[in-house]
Structure 1
Amino acid sequence: MASLGTLTRALSHRNARIFFGASLAAWTGLWMHRIAVSWLAWELTGSAFWVGLVAFCDLAPAVIASPIAGAVADRADRLRLTMLSQAAIGLNAALIAALVAADLMGIHLLLALEVVGGIAASFAQPARQSLMPGLVPPADLPAAVALNSLTFNVARFIGPALAGPLIAVAGVWPAIAANALAYLVATTTTPMLRVEAAARRGHSANTSLFRETLDGIRYAARHPGLGPILAFAAVAAVLLRGVQEILPPFVDRAFGLGAEALAVLTAAFGVGALVSGLAVAARGRMAGTTRLAVLGVAALALATAGFAATGWFAFGVLCAAFMGAAGSVHGISVQTLAQNSSDPSMRGRVLSLWGLITRACPALGALILGGAGELFGLRWPVLLAVALSLVAVAWGLARLPRMAAALEGEQAGR
């Protein structure tokens, strides 16, 4: 990883400024969209299960699409794939906004359109992430990885801060329309990037797409570091990240508040993630990153337990900030380790698996928690998930020396 001075140096490159500027716009729109759609689902149904199902439909397509998208990103023009997938996300958001504004949206149609958006996002993620080695010199790549996560979490603060008041004053459709506009900006600025041909395409297609997809999964599974750390991250995401995808029921039932409180909680996640992300980036070394990835989940589990157990909103906001901070430490650490230890020809496929984990696993967790919340209330299912996640942390600590040896060395995957 990199010091804060290195982060600044990474932004001195023209490509990085364009890329991360577009990312900030797109992800701000994305968080506005997520807040608006989640609240819309709650307004339409009043059910935690349906709110969880909407999150599931947005994120779960990654199970099928992400591995394929990673293989496509390793053999196609990554710049073109980024542009097309971002355009699809923007058009889908524009359609949802128009249907909501015209009062034509129902819960089943919303589910279908969230699936479409989820598929497009599954293709955008590995294409964009695979471009990063072509945006900055090799020495600045760890800083670019950290900047990517920091940009996401800055947007995670700005988006809800804009969405909450906007929804309260004008309803949900303007917030969704803002996402369409943001992705229009991202799409039109992508062709401005100057990326060398070698970084735009991983390799020539020499076998079937299906075979390359399977090769990527096998490569990650057999790697002594990538396989265990990705499996650990997947389990943690299923057990803990689902809470953040079904916030409206917590806001309404646990705290008795409305959309503005939902925005405050989501912004608190972003503030915590931003602060901890800066701290992780300032470490300036790769050694110890695997330990951070594991201990970040332990901290996330404790903060999640506090959030689920309280009915005091101020304490819930504090716990949300710690949840965001711990999740950011874990996420930046795992992504940096994946970039460091992946063979360049496999990078798109490995990062697509990370994208699958960050999208599909929280979706599954949200669906399970939403369903369990209808039967048993929200608190006890979350506390059970916390207990199970601490078992996973114990496993991760036991495997820590072997994972670190395979992930943290210079050019570990080369």
Structure 2
Amino acid sequence: MERQNSYRGLLKIPNLLPLILTATLSRLAGRTFILTLVLFVLARFSSPVLAGWLTSAAFVPGLIVSPVAGALLDRVGPTTALRIDMIASAVFIAAISFAALADWSSLPVLFILVMLYSLTSPLGAAGTRTLLPRIVPPQALDRANALDTAVYAIVEIIGPAMAGVVVAWIGPETAMSLIAAAYAGAAICLSHVQRLPGLASRKTSFLHLTIEGIQMVARQPTLRGLAISYSLYQLTWGALYVAVPVYVANRYATAVASSVTGLLWAITGIAGGVGALLAGLMRTTGRERYFMATGMVLSALAAWPVSAEFGFGGLAIGLILAGMMSSPIDVALLSMRQRCTDPQQLGRIMSISMSLNCTGFPLGSAIAGMVITKSLSATFVLAGIASVAAAVATVSIPTDTAPPA
């Protein structure tokens, strides 16, 4: 009973604690990297447009190769796939740091290294959530999902705050080396997780596995609906990740602005943590669309007018509200996606659907980088409209959540 009804009992499940530590360190590194990258570009090139495009470059290549990553997850197993991502991420971010410190970080070099970093990211994003159902008993899976979401909320608290404070203290170039060290630490924690083999047949070609994964996601109505609705919702966060640092930079000196930006994202993460704890106490099964749509509408109001039209205090309140809504949305999304997934095809479906779900973030960053040069307020309006569209798309998702045949 304890294993099913308490987080303490949940952590007694073999392999779960080191996996949670791995996820915490890698997600912390990833979140810190994105904001550090924005601050790095603003400091070195003074260009919001470049900040938006480089943020997109940290996501788009990974989204494109996600079907291949999913096939790799099912072929080599989630533990090995996760290890590949942790090591590759550490190497490429360390290279960005070295190039910056050596004054070799021209735009082509920076774009290449950021895109290389992106290529293995689907392995890390889907790897943890592919491992969870394989190491956690079915009766404890809902609680494990809530814990996983809470970990993500903790990352939202620590990551941006760390990025802002560390960049202000030692500069973005050195901050990159600390991010690389966090990825290396995640790889060390992962060594304590049992290596689980891939479930895909070795007799099936890698190309066939990749194509099959795309077909499975394309044919599942709920997964298709989630890809549309959640990607629209992520447009909001992609726009905010560019708009908030620019908003703050327009009001404070560079060094102070970095710290203030980090603190704003920290309070957003705290709100997300509260939302995750509340979401863990709710039974969302069968009501996922309601939870998601409600959270998206409130996120739209948080982006505009609250964040944009009521000064710095309004920005802080808007981010708190948006952060609090993000966790119930994520918990409901994860529940729907897992109930639509055949366990034998988990790696491919998780990698492809998660990548599709997140396509809005880089697009939102890129659009915000262009719109913000004309009007900062219009960027927040864009973020709000995206969440409203996401809510409409969510209520249109079919209710049938049976796994694909």
Is this contact kept in 1: 2:63–2:122, CA < 8 A? no
CA distance in 2, matches of 1:21, 1:40: 28
Q: Which residue of 1 aligns with 2:332?
A: 333
Is this contact kept in 2: 1:237–1:357, CA < 8 A? no
Q: Cα deviation per residue 1:336-389 (whole Å; 9 max; x = unaligned)?
A: 211122111222122113331354320011101111222x21211431452354
Q: Which residue of 2 aligns with 1:382?
A: 380
Q: Which residue of 2 aligns with 1:71?
A: 71
Stretch deviating more after TM superposition (4-13 or 215-224): 4-13
CA distance in 2, matches of 1:239, 1:29: 22
Is this contact kept in 2: 1:62–1:360, CA < 8 A? no
Kindly report which structure 2 residues correspond to 1:1-400, keeping only aligned pairs within 5 A, or say none.
Answer: 5-194=5-194, 197=196, 200-253=197-250, 258-306=257-305, 308-310=307-309, 312-357=311-356, 359-374=358-373, 376-397=374-395, 399=396
CA distance in 2, matches of 1:241, 1:354: 18
- Structure 1 residues 188 and 315: CA distance shift in structure 2, 3 A: same
- Cα drift, residue 120 of structure 1: 1.8
Is this contact kept in 2: 1:52–1:246, CA < 8 A? no
Amino acid at match of 2:266: A
- Structure 1 residues 7 and 113: CA distance shift in structure 2, 3 A: same
- Cα drift, residue 392 of structure 1: 4.1
- Structure 1 residues 176 and 412: CA distance shift in structure 2, 3 A: same
Is this contact kept in 2: 1:136–1:144, CA < 8 A? yes
Amino acid at match of 1:291: Y
- Structure 1 residues 350 and 242: CA distance shift in structure 2, 3 A: farther
- Structure 1 residues 181 and 395: CA distance shift in structure 2, 3 A: closer
SS of the aligned residue for 1:309 comes to: helix
Q: Give the total of aligned pairs.
A: 402
SS of the aligned residue for 1:286 comes to: coil
Is this contact kept in 1: 2:153–2:272, CA < 8 A? yes
- Structure 1 residues 181 and 80: CA distance shift in structure 2, 3 A: same
Amino acid at match of 2:349: V
TM-score (norm 2): 0.91
Is this contact kept in 2: 1:254–1:311, CA < 8 A? no
Identical aligned residues as a percent: 20
Is this contact kept in 2: 1:3–1:284, CA < 8 A? no
CA distance in 1, matches of 2:248, 2:155: 21
- Structure 1 residues 238 and 315: CA distance shift in structure 2, 3 A: closer
CA distance in 2, matches of 1:112, 1:105: 10
CA distance in 2, matches of 1:136, 1:84: 23
Deviating 4+ runs (over 6 angstroms): none
CA distance in 1, matches of 2:336, 2:219: 16
- Cα drift, residue 239 of structure 1: 4.8
Q: Mark the runs of 5 or more structure 2 residues left unpaired by the alignment.
A: none
CA distance in 2, matches of 1:4, 1:317: 37
Is this contact kept in 2: 1:3–1:283, CA < 8 A? no
CA distance in 1, matches of 2:350, 2:242: 22
TM-score (norm 1): 0.89
Amino acid at match of 1:243: L
CA distance in 2, matches of 1:211, 1:235: 30
Q: Cα deviation per residue 1:286-335 (whole Å; 9 max; x = unaligned)?
A: 23122212222212111111355236222212211211222222122112
- Structure 1 residues 117 and 211: CA distance shift in structure 2, 3 A: same
Amino acid at match of 2:184: L
Is this contact kept in 2: 1:67–1:353, CA < 8 A? yes
CA distance in 2, matches of 1:210, 1:245: 37
CA distance in 1, matches of 2:88, 2:365: 25
Is this contact kept in 1: 2:307–2:319, CA < 8 A? no
Amino acid at match of 1:290: R
Amino acid at match of 1:316: L
Q: Cα deviation per residue 1:25-55 (whole Å; 9 max; x = unaligned)?
A: 2222223322222101111222211110111
CA distance in 2, matches of 1:3, 1:317: 38
- Cα drift, residue 245 of structure 1: 4.5
Q: Cα deviation per residue 1:230-249 (whole Å; 9 max; x = unaligned)?
A: 22112222355332245322
CA distance in 2, matches of 1:254, 1:352: 40
